[in-house]
Amino acid sequence: MSETKKKELQKPGTVSKITDYFKGVRAEWDKVTWPERRQVAMETVVVIAVVVFFTVLVYFLDVIFNFLFKLMPGG
């Protein structure tokens, strides 16, 4: 066998590397434990509630500080 033929057999090609990569991705994807739909919905509601709470909190703090700064002389 010629030298170039031996080198070709030893090196995996680009297509082979890409294929191996996606096979590995698929294997890891199958190992993932996905949450139930109900759990995802409940956690989404919690996240939205927390965001709304902090939005309202920041709004009221802004109103209070705005009022206090207007009470200051020169405000």
The Cα 16–Cα 7 span in angstroms is: 15
The Cα 4–Cα 67 span in angstroms is: 81
The residue assigned the tokens 């939005």 is: 55
The Cα 66–Cα 62 span in angstroms is: 6
The Cα 22–Cα 30 span in angstroms is: 12
The Cα 73–Cα 36 span in angstroms is: 58
pLDDT tens for each residue of 51-72: 999 999 999 999 999 999 999 9
pLDDT tens for each residue of 4-31: 665 555 666 888 899 999 999 999 999 9
